[in-house]
Amino acid sequence: MFGEHIHNDQSHNLDAPPTSTPAAPQPPQAEHTTKKEDTLFEILKIVFLAVLIVVPIRVFIAQPFVVSGASMDPTFENGEYIIVDQLSYNFNQPKRGDVIVFRFPLEPSKFFIKRIVGLPGEQLILQKKATIIINSEHPEGIIFNEPYVAPENMKTGSFSVVLGEGEYFVMGDNRAESSDSRSWGPINKEHIAGKAFIRLFPITHIDFLPGSIK
């Protein structure tokens, strides 16, 4: 057996003619080497399969992010861990109220998390206590209800913008502390990485579609 010493205890027969001494058994070096190679192969195979599964998921389906900053308070707090759905927007258009992660237009290596407030072709009028949407369905304008924005976090002053084709107006829920489309303009769909899908950390805040309008 592998790893054991085999003792050959040969008895002596005084009446029998002497016999030649049998050759000593070879040490199991070849077997040892083969098993090490098999183990290494199995490890490499598992690693390869893991990479084959995980990489496409990370690139095309879902990706983890950690929230940094207070621009989405109280919906998302600094340090929260979220998984972003990168697949849905390949089949559906982003909707008003979606919480998205996107590449910052002025520095694409950075990712921001904000909420979509304005859709392509719409006019937005931001007032001190209200966000008014003007579009083909509501040519006279309609107030967009934003229960996730605390009254003390609503922006002061007024702002108006007309969005072009493929443009989305995004803002943080903490309007007083957010750098968003009010400062650097709307984003295009190609900037969007995906929609907030699951909040995993902290454990007490685990949530599916976190920040969605109930």
Average pLDDT score, the chain: 78
pLDDT 10s digits, 172-213:
999 888 999 999 999 999 999 999 999 988 888 888 888 887
Q: Give the pLDDT of residue 33.
A: 59
Question: Model-level pTM?
Answer: 0.70
pLDDT 10s digits, 141-155:
999 999 888 877 776
**More confidently predicted of 122 and 200:** 122
> How far apart (Å, rounded) are the C-alpha atoms in residues 214 and 212?
6
Q: State the sign of the Cα–Cα–Cα–Cα dihedral 186, 189, 190, 196.
A: positive
> Looking at 31-35, 130-134, 151-155, 187-191, which range is the least confident one?
31-35
The catalytic residues are 71, 114
Residue 212 burial (CB < 10 Å; 0-12/13-18/19+)?
middle
> How far apart (Å, rounded) are the C-alpha atoms in residues 196 and 63?
10
What value, to the nearest 5°, has the Cα angle with vertex 58 and ends 52 and 64? 145
Please list the alpha-helical segments (H only) found in 57-126. none
Return the DSSP state at 3: T
The phi, psi pair for 162, rounded to 5°, reads -110, 125
DSSP 121-181: T-EEEE-SS-EEEESSS-TT-EE---TTS-GGGSPPS-EEEE--TTEEEEE-SSGGG--SH
> How far apart (Å, rounded) are the C-alpha atoms in residues 71 and 145?
19
- Average pLDDT of span 9-32: 47
Do residues 83 and 58 lie in contact, with contact meaning Cβ atoms separated by under 8 Å?
no
Pair of tokens at residue 169 = 């107006």
Q: Give the pLDDT of residue 177.
A: 87
